[in-house]
Chain A
Amino acid sequence: MASTCSPSSLPVTPLTPDQLEQGSSLWRDAWHRLAKNKIAVFGGATLIVLTIACIFGPLISSYSYEDQNLNLGASGPSLSHWLGTDTLGRDLLVRLLVGGRISIGVGLCATIVALTIGVIYGAVAGFFGGKTDAVMMRIVDIMYALPFTIFVILLMVFFGRNIVLLFVAIGAVEWLTMARIVRGQIMSIKKMEFIEAARSLGLGKRRIIFRHMIPNVLGPIIVYTTLTIPAVMLLEAFLSFLGLGVQPPLSSWGVLIKDGAEKMEEFWWLLVFPGSIFSLTLFSLNFLGDGLRDALDVQSSKD
C-alpha cells in the first residue's frame, strides 16, 4: 500500500509568512526577555526619570544651585524648600539635581571607558594566553601598584585641570579589575565545546572573541559594571578633593554625601536625601543589570 504515498501527494498546507519561525539573534531574544522582567524595566525607567529630572529639573526650579541665603543657613524640608537647604542656604533639591548631572555623566562615561578598555584587554589576554597574557597581566600589575594620588597630581601638573582628565584618571584605575575578571572568565570558557566548534569552523580570532566569547561572559561583566558605577561616583568626590573635577559652587552627589556625612546629626537631610537618591540610582542600576544578565543568559533554563 505504498505507491500512493509519495511526498508530493501528501496534503501540505503552506505556512504563511508570519507563521514561519523568525530567525532571532541573541540581542533580539535578550531584548524580549528583558522587556518582560518587570523589576528590571522599573529600574530602567527609574534611571531614565532620574536622568531627565537632573537635566531638566533645575531649568524649571525657582532656585538656582548657587543662590545663597546666608541668614537662613541650613534648614529642614519645608514648603519653600522641599528638601531643605544647606549651610549656605542653598536649595538642596536643585543642588541634588545639578549634582546628578555630574555624577550620572561621570559615572556613565568613565564606566563606559573602563568597560571598553577592560573587556577588550581582558578578553585578548585571556584568549591568547601564554606570553601575551603574561605581559599584559604584568602591565596590569604595574598599573595597580603605582600610587594613584601621585598619578593624579602629576596629571594635573602636566595637563591642567580639565574634565577630560577626570575621565582619564578614573578610567585608568577602574579598567584594571574589569580586565582581570574578564580574563578569568574567558580562560574558563576557552576550552568549552562551543568554542572548539567555532574554531574548527575556521572562524577568525576577532569573531570568536567578540561574537562568541564575550557574549558568554557578559554576566559577571554586567554585575561588575553595576558595582563600578558607584565606585566611580565616590572616586570623583576624592578627586575633587585633589582639585580635579567640578569646582564650587557646582557639586556632585559624592561631594554632597561627604559633606552631609559630617553634619548628619545636626542636619540629617543633608545626608539622607543625597544618600537616598544615590542608593535609588544604585538599586535601579542593579535591578536593571540583573535583568540584563538574566536576559542575556543563553543557558538559563527555558523549561
Chain B
Amino acid sequence: MFRFIARRLLQTIPVLWFIVTATFFMIRFVPGGPFTAEKAVTPEILRNLEAHYGLNKPLYQQYFDYMSNLVLRGDLGPSFKYASRTVNEIIADKLPVSIELGAISLGVALFFGLILGIIAAVKRNSIFDYMASSVAMIGICVPTFVLGPLLVLFFAIHLGWFNASGWYSNLDRILPSATLGMVYAAYVARLTRGGMLEVLNQDYIRTARAKGASEIRVIFKHALRGGILPVVSFLGPAIAGILTGSFVIEMIFQIPGLGREFVNSAFNRDYTLVLGTVILYASLIVMLNLIVDVAQVWLNPKLKFE
C-alpha cells in the first residue's frame, strides 16, 4: 500500500505543474483584465499599474517569475483586486471558514443521506422507500439558491431564531450547513440506496442471514461496506466540491469563505487569486482521490492495489 501511495504522490507533481501552467496561460487569453473598469483608466495610469504588477514583462518572463516564487518561496503573489492583501493571506483567512462550513455540511449530508439511503434500500419499494427517497429528492429538486432563502425567510425572518446572514456566532453555522448539506444528502442517499441494493442481493448477505445474524448486523457489518462504494467514489469530488464550490451558499449567507473567491476571482480577472485557488483545489482533488482510491480497496477485500 505504501508503495502505491508513494507512486501516486510522485504522479501529483506533473499533474499540478500541468494545471498551474494551463491555468496561467488560459487566464491571460481571456478578454478583460484586472484593471478593466467602467470608468476607463487613462493610458499613463494603466502603464504604471501594469509596471507595478509586472504585467508589462513578456509573458514567459511573468510565468517564470511566478513559478519561481511559487516553488521556491511558496509565495502566491499579491491579489490584484484586494490591493492590500496577498493571495497567501486571503487563502489563510478564508480556507478555515470553508473547511468548517464544508465539514459540518458533509456531516449533515452523510448522516441524513446514509440513513435515508439505507432505509430506502432495506425497505425497498415500500412506503418507507418512497418517503425516504422523496425527502432525499428535496435536496436535488430545490436548488440551493431557492432552499437557502426559504430557510432564512422561515427561520430567521419569521421565527427570528437566527441571523439572516453572517458567520459570527455558532448559531450562524446552522442554516448554511443545513442548506448545503441537504443537497449532498440527496446524492448520498440515492447512491447509497443504489449501492446497498446491489449488495443486499449478494450471496454472502444471504449466507449471513441464514446464519441467523440480526438484520442490523447484516446491514451495518456486512452490507454497508460494499454498499457505500459508489458513495465513496463520489465523495472525492464531492468533498472538494463542498469545500470550494459553496459559492451560492456563501453569497446568500455572507460567509467569508473561499468558495466565492473561486468564482469571483475569475470574474475580477484577479490572476494571482485565480491561480492560488486553482492550485489549492487541484491539490485537494488529487489528495482526496488518492484517499478515496485507498478507501475503495480497503472496503472491498477483493480489490488489490495495482
Do A and B come into direct contact in the complex, CB within 8 Å?
A: yes
- A: residues with CB less than 8 A from B are 129-130, 133-134, 137-138, 141-142, 144-147, 149-151, 153-154, 157, 176-177, 180-181, 183-185, 187-188, 191-192, 219-220, 222-224, 226-227, 230, 234, 257-258, 261, 264-265, 271, 275, 278-279, 282-283, 286, 290, 293-294, 297, 299-301
Residue of A157, A192, A290 near B31 (CB, 8 A) is A157
The verdict on B161 contacting chain A, using a C-beta distance below 8 Å, is no
- Given the interface pairs A141-B285, A142-B19, A150-B23, the reply to whether A227 lies near B236 with Cβ below 8 Å is no
- Smallest CB gap from B300: residue in A: A188
Chain B residues in 8 Å Cβ range of A286: 133, 137, 190
- Whether the pair B30, A142 counts as a contact (CB closer than 8 A) is no
Stretch in B85-93, B143-151, B170-178 touching the partner? B143-151
- Whether the pair B29, A154 counts as a contact (CB closer than 8 A) is yes
Interface residues of B in 181-216 (CB under 8 A from A): 186-187, 190-191, 193-195, 197-198, 201-202
27 contacts between A and B (CB under 8 A): A133-B306, A138-B11, A138-B15, A141-B15, A141-B282, A144-B237, A145-B285, A146-B19, A146-B26, A147-B26, A147-B274, A150-B266, A153-B266, A154-B26, A181-B234, A185-B230, A185-B233, A191-B302, A192-B302, A219-B194, A219-B197, A220-B230, A258-B145, A275-B141, A282-B140, A283-B134, A297-B197
Instruction: For the complex, give the distance between the alpha carbons of A147 and B261 in Å.
Output: 12
Chain A residues in 8 Å Cβ range of B229: 184-185, 188
Determine how close the nearest CB of chain A comes to the CB of B112; give it in whole angstroms: 16
- Whether the pair B278, A145 counts as a contact (CB closer than 8 A) is yes
The verdict on B83 contacting chain A, using a C-beta distance below 8 Å, is no
Instruction: For the complex, give the distance between the alpha carbons of A234 and B140 in Å.
Output: 10
- Given the interface pairs A134-B11, A144-B237, the reply to whether A223 lies near B230 with Cβ below 8 Å is yes
Instruction: For the complex, give the distance between the alpha carbons of A145 and B286 in Å.
Output: 9
Residue of A153, A227, A271, A299 near B187 (CB, 8 A) is A227
Q: B interface, by DSSP: helix, strand, loop or mixed?
A: helix
Determine how close the nearest CB of chain B comes to the CB of A58; give it in whole angstroms: 24
- Smallest CB gap from A153: residue in B: B30
- Smallest CB gap from B302: residue in A: A191
Chain A residues in 8 Å Cβ range of B14: 138
Instruction: For the complex, give the distance between the alpha carbons of A297 and B195 in Å.
Output: 12
Chain B residues in 8 Å Cβ range of A282: 137, 140-141
Determine how close the nearest CB of chain A comes to the CB of B8; give it in whole angstroms: 8
- Whether the pair B141, A279 counts as a contact (CB closer than 8 A) is yes
Q: A interface, by DSSP: helix, strand, loop or mixed?
A: helix
- Whether the pair B30, A150 counts as a contact (CB closer than 8 A) is yes
Chain A residues in 8 Å Cβ range of B266: 147, 149-150, 153
Residue-wise, chain B 11-39 has the 8 Å CB interface mask toward A (1 for contact) of 10011001100110011011100000000
- Whether the pair B143, A257 counts as a contact (CB closer than 8 A) is yes
Chain A residues in 8 Å Cβ range of B134: 283
The verdict on B220 contacting chain A, using a C-beta distance below 8 Å, is no
Determine how close the nearest CB of chain B comes to the CB of A57; give it in whole angstroms: 22
- Given the interface pairs A177-B234, A191-B303, A293-B194, the reply to whether A141 lies near B278 with Cβ below 8 Å is no
Interface residues of B in 84-132 (CB under 8 A from A): none
A-B contact sample (5 more), CB < 8 A, given A146-B22, A146-B23, A271-B146: A134-B7, A184-B232, A188-B302, A286-B137, A297-B198
- Smallest CB gap from B252: residue in A: A261
Residue of B226, B232, B282 near A145 (CB, 8 A) is B282
The verdict on B142 contacting chain A, using a C-beta distance below 8 Å, is yes
Determine how close the nearest CB of chain A comes to the CB of B57; give it in whole angstroms: 22
Instruction: For the complex, give the distance between the alpha carbons of A129 and B198 in Å.
Output: 23
- Given the interface pairs A145-B285, A220-B194, A227-B140, the reply to whether A261 lies near B19 with Cβ below 8 Å is no
- Given the interface pairs A141-B286, A301-B201, the reply to whether A147 lies near B278 with Cβ below 8 Å is yes
Determine how close the nearest CB of chain A comes to the CB of B20; give it in whole angstroms: 9
Residue among B31, B202, B233, B240 with the most chain A CB within 10 A? B233
- Smallest CB gap from B194: residue in A: A223
Chain A residues in 8 Å Cβ range of B143: 234, 257, 261
The verdict on B263 contacting chain A, using a C-beta distance below 8 Å, is yes
The verdict on B53 contacting chain A, using a C-beta distance below 8 Å, is no
Determine how close the nearest CB of chain A comes to the CB of B199; give it in whole angstroms: 10
The verdict on B82 contacting chain A, using a C-beta distance below 8 Å, is no
The verdict on B63 contacting chain A, using a C-beta distance below 8 Å, is no
Determine how close the nearest CB of chain A comes to the CB of B155; give it in whole angstroms: 15
Chain A residues in 8 Å Cβ range of B286: 141, 145
Determine how close the nearest CB of chain B comes to the CB of A146; give it in whole angstroms: 6
